[in-house]
Chain A
Amino acid sequence: MSIAPAEQQTSEPDVVEAVDTPWITLVWNDPVNLMSYVTWVFQTHFGYPKQHAEKLMMDVHLKGRAVVATGPKEQMEVDTEALQGYGLWATFQKDT
């Protein structure tokens, strides 16, 4: 797995204004989940437009992980649980 540093968090300005929202949800790359399915999950769970969902999926695939949501801790826990329910490996953490 190619775990490149996820230095591109600022490239997701349309998720949430990240000024005072110090928690993030990450999705980690794995060799089992299908690219089409991961895109479908991002569209279905977050309601992201297809283009944005595909970009996040490619970030996960190529960089090893991607920040898929930003917001309050409680919301990140809800997102993480839902994404794990879909079989993706999602985690939440403080946005450092």
Chain B
Amino acid sequence: MARAFAADGEELVAIMDEDERAVVAGLCLQVMDLVAPASAPTKGESADPFEAIVAGLGDLSTDTEDGAAGLEVPNRAFGLDHDRDPALDRLFPTGNREDEQEAAEFRRFTEQGLRQRKHQGLATTVRTLEAARDDRWVVTRPQAPAVLVALTDIRLVMGERLGLRTDEDATRLEELIETLEADDPAVFALSVYDFLTWLQESLTQALMGEDE
């Protein structure tokens, strides 16, 4: 059973078994593929249904576009001249919602750098996971921001796959999940999402010095 992050001197330590660490590391690698500048995942590349979800290849039964709340979702791709994976629009959203030229220019000057930084942070997170001994996932204070951002990036991608775009979606998803079969990939995806949320909350609190 995993234990959330807690401060241990200068280190922040979570207890996670090998399987749990492998899930998080695997998700880091998936999102690294997604943010890598040259990568363009193609349909049918991954045989693993869960990996396929994160890579944007699988469909989830929770992702309804036609909900009442769906109309409220603002255009994150403003200033982009082509369609692409919606998760990328969430990771690299428009920087200006009023002026399309400003939006396009901002994207041109920032997106590659942002992709690179996210890639590095995810790679740092994988290294800390691989360095775990005795099920202790040790994150130093200097590493913690990169790990927090990596957990955020994974959750943003998973949230997008789950159709989580507004606060109303979160409520809707909780209700919907009750009605799904236990072996629905969305049920597993949501449980992993909740696990990451729990980890990130504990790491944030541990870093801010507020163990609860």
| Complex CA–CA separation, A90 to B164 (angstroms) | 18
The answer to whether B204 touches A37 (Cβ under 8 A) is yes
B46 contacts the other chain (CB 8 A): no
- Tally B residues with Cβ within 8 Å of A: 44
Q: A28-B74, A81-B110 are in contact. Are A36 and B95 (CB under 8 A)?
A: no
The answer to whether A77 touches B72 (Cβ under 8 A) is no
Q: Mark B144-163, 1 if CB is under 8 A from A, else 0.
A: 01001100110110010000
The answer to whether B97 touches A2 (Cβ under 8 A) is no
B207 contacts the other chain (CB 8 A): yes
A49 contacts the other chain (CB 8 A): no
Closest to A43 in B: B208
Grouping DSSP codes into helix (H, G, I), strand (E, B) and loop, the A interface class, with mixed when no group exceeds half, is mixed
Q: A2-B167, A33-B152, A77-B106 are in contact. Are A84 and B205 (CB under 8 A)?
A: no
A residues neighboring B (CB under 8 Å) = 1-3, 28-34, 36-37, 40, 44, 77, 80-81, 84-87, 89-94
Q: Enumerate the 8 nearest inter-chain pairs by beta-carbon distance, A residue then B residue, closest first.
A: A87-B152, A1-B166, A32-B159, A31-B170, A36-B204, A81-B110, A80-B95, A89-B93
B residues neighboring A (CB under 8 Å) = 69, 72-74, 76, 90-99, 102, 106, 110, 113-114, 117-118, 145, 148-149, 152-153, 155-156, 159, 164-170, 197, 200-201, 204-205, 207-208
